[in-house]
Chain A
Amino acid sequence: MLAFGSFRSRLSFFLLCLLAPVLGGIFYYVNRNNIEYTEETINSYLELGADVFDFTRAQQAGTLQAITNSLTWDFGFRTAFASNDPATLFDAALNVLDRSIGSADMLMIVGMDNKVVIDTQLQGFVDLSGSWLSLIEEADASEDGLAEAIVAIEGAPFQLIALPLYLPRQVAWIIGGFALDQNFVNTVKDTIVSEVSIIRRSNEKDLEVVASTLSALKQQVLAEQIAINTIAVDRLQRISLEGEEFTTLTRSLLESSSGGSQVLAIIQRSYDENNVNVIQFRTLLIEFYIVIITISAIAVGLLSRSITNPLVKLASAVQKIEEGEYGKPVAVNSRDEIGDLANSVNSMARGLAEKEKVRDLLGKVVSQQIAEQLLNNPVELGGEEKVVTVVFSDIRGFTGFCEGLRPQQVLVELNQVLSTISNIIEKHNGVVDKFQGDAVMALFGAPIQSELDARNAMLATLEIVKAMETADSRLSACVGVNTGLVVAGNLGSSNRLNYSVIGDAVNLSARLEGLTRLYNVTNIVSDASKDAASDFCFMELDEVCVAGRSHAIKIFELLGVLGEVSADKLAMAEAFAEALQAYRSKNWDLAERLFSQLLTSCDNVALPKVFLERISHFQISPPPDDWGGVYIFGKK
């Protein structure tokens, strides 16, 4: 199958396939018929010309006869003949030739004894012989004493006529003749518009062009051709002379009985003259074809444009749709299939625009990933169990920050902060699950799970904390991070759904966020999350049992990425761990001393205070013996 770059070239190709054989066929047949017709015409012209040639020769012979005959009527000539005065007769004969205006070239008077009385050609013989004698014998044998012949006189063929001279009975023969010479062929050519050549063949190979209207070179070629090929008399033949084609007809003017000598008249007509017609016709046909092809090409152009223009428009429209531009409908004003297609594309664009609007809105209402999840999967109630890292982020100091601001401004500020947090979460492939006032709940691992979920959550936590610190000195973030098994899916009624996660891990995360205020830290990470994220530096804060939970968990503060935490912090963390150890081993004095030391060395004064308070409490009412350091929070 041929590959076409464009619809236009395809259409042009098929048009060409259709037109070429039709036009070619027409050209072939018309051209062939034209050539045949013109050849027939030329041939018939030639045959006509040959007939006219015969007629002309007959007429010339008739004229010759009339001229010769009129001589016999002249009483002066009769008297001169009777008085046996050859000199006078000779003069009279010359006079007649002079007056014949080229119709007669020679006269001869022959006595009844076949002896020459006078001869204007002065050939010198007295007794007739050969062709001359045959002529007279033929005339003598004929009813009215007439005979015609072509006889060579000194190599040149003469058309002769013999008739009797009556005085009043026949006393002599008069022979009149005209030369079949250049004058003759020129005259004939003027009449029949064909080339005429007189050729004498004295023997098989000895040819002589006596007279011809052809050019000297063509005469020579003609003679050579005739010498080689025996030319058929009275039959049309095709002869090529010097590259020019001639239709040729031969007339035998003289055929001597012995077979030796022969005089031929070759009448020829060039095919070139009708070639001009053929070429002219061919040119006309080609011009006509050019017009047809041009018109067809224009028609094809218009037709293909009427198809491709809307297609191009449609294509660009579809491309824009692909890029997300649904606003501009395709302007195709046709009622055909392309119009239908355009309408379909337009309605598709509208559909896509609506869907995109929904998606956009969904993306804003819910997280992008959840929106994708919702759009790409069948929306069903229920969900799946997943291990998710849940990040609860709250803004501390926001109430004070908003003091004195109008509610509208509060919303603007809040949205700005929440946007910052959302962006950070999304940047680290987290999903914002919901906003609750100034709090943000984010998921790492739902709906799409990854090995880096916990790590991403840690990075997001660090960034949120840092962002809040830099945003405003009055604001600080408090983040709770926990990792655990949750159920993720569409929650709610069949009409109103919410993609979310539920489970103990979520609750714990929220509890941990709440605990940050107690410990005066920016974040609290559960031991599950800490275990899930390596490469980070944590400081153990406590082992707690939060409300509603039976078993204790260790909680940590995320200090930073491993290796990036300052030595002071590490030292502080080490001191804190020492104090915590003393605390857990109920060595209250040591613990109190160590925590008290931390009050001065540690930035976070509130943290050692928490433990100093507990120690003073335990010193009054000591914990049970099996106490391992777990602090139980009684209420939410």
Chain B
Amino acid sequence: MKIRSMQSPLHSLYKLGFFSLYSVRLNLIVGLLLSLGWVSGHAQGLTVQLDDSEGNPISGAVVEIILPEEMRSTYQLSDETEVDQLDKEFVPHISTVVSGSDVMFPNSDDILHHVYSFSPISTFNIPLYGKGTQNDYSHRFSETGVVEIGCNIHDWMLAYIYVAQTTLNSISDDSGQATLENVPSGTFELRIWHSRLKEQDIAMTQTIEFVDGEKTVIEYTLELERDRRVRRAPSSNRTRYR
């Protein structure tokens, strides 16, 4: 993982797109305000722009700020969420939950699915079930980490559940931007995860100082591995068995 524009925001001026230009401008404004000694309390924002080495935006990446343990409780709001199975795909493909949350895996298809996970933080499987059944089943993810969800019938079906420590996480959108509001002031670790990041990169974190009232804009260039996935069987596009 390369981190650019941290020490040289001006340099990034030439590299950023429209939103980045805006961010840089904001950055300059924040810097100006900071120099005047004007502080606005707990409302710092963070925008992370993720691109690959060829400048293409990276979507589907999770950005999380790792808070010290004593600060986490404010942001640990466990929730209930669901990963649906629609047209032989998991929807959504990537979701984030705070540890301790329950995730439901309803089946919206007319056929049966066999949901499983062999991820070390949470191994489970829901043997073959159909639409309407297992609706009350939910799985609680207590440990933080990434869970890879598969279907034993449809090998190409793959979902990632990012189990975060706190709600201070975000998934980058199609423009490669992940945005967090209300980040407390202080120096924290920033963790970036993507399914195609190299293993050792996932473990890497970056320490960032968040200053009161200052909008932080960070741009990262990530090196992604080639994605090898099981191809969806062409015949599986048929909605019905026959």
Contacts and interface: CB of A to CB of B under 8 A. Distances in A.
A145 B155 CA distance: 15
Contact of A144 (B118, B195, B231): B231
A73 interface: yes
A144 B114 contact: no
Contacts of B151: 168
A82 B123 contact: yes
B114 A167 contact: no
Contact of B150 (A144, A145, A166): A166
B219 interface: no
Among A79, A144, A166, A169, residue most surrounded by chain B Cβ atoms (within 10 Å): A169
B230 interface: yes
A166 B118 contact: no
B118 A167 contact: yes
A78 interface: yes
Contact of B158 (A72, A75, A169, A171): A169
Nearest to A140: B228
A167 B228 contact: no
A169 B231 contact: no
Contact of A75 (B116, B148, B149): B116
A145 B152 contact: no
Given A73-B152, A78-B152, A164 B158 contact: no
A170 interface: yes
A566 B151 CA distance: 169
B228 A78 contact: no
Contacts of A168: 116, 148-151, 155, 157-158, 230
Contacts of A145: 228
Interface in A141-191: 143-145, 164, 166-171
Among B157, B158, B230, residue most surrounded by chain A Cβ atoms (within 10 Å): B230
Contacts of B231: 144
B157 A164 contact: no
A110 to B, nearest CB: 16
B228 A144 contact: yes
A75 B228 contact: no
Interface string A65-96: 00000001101001101100000000000000
Contact of A167 (B150, B157, B195, B229): B150
Nearest to A112: B199
Interface in B217-242: 228-231
A89 to B, nearest CB: 14
Nearest to B228: A145
B152 A75 contact: yes
B218 to A, nearest CB: 28
Interface in B8-46: none
A534 to B, nearest CB: 149
A105 to B, nearest CB: 26
A79 B150 CA distance: 13
Nearest to B227: A169
A627 B152 CA distance: 187
A124 B150 CA distance: 33
Nearest to A142: B228
Given A75-B114, A168-B157, 14 more contacts: A73-B152, A73-B155, A75-B125, A143-B228, A145-B228, A164-B228, A166-B150, A166-B155, A167-B118, A167-B148, A167-B150, A168-B116, A168-B149, A168-B155
Closest 9 CB pairs of A and B: A168-B150, A82-B118, A168-B158, A75-B152, A167-B118, A169-B148, A145-B228, A166-B230, A166-B155
9 contacts: A75-B116, A75-B152, A78-B152, A143-B228, A144-B228, A164-B228, A168-B149, A168-B151, A170-B228
Interface of B: 114, 116, 118, 123, 125, 148-152, 155, 157-158, 195, 228-231
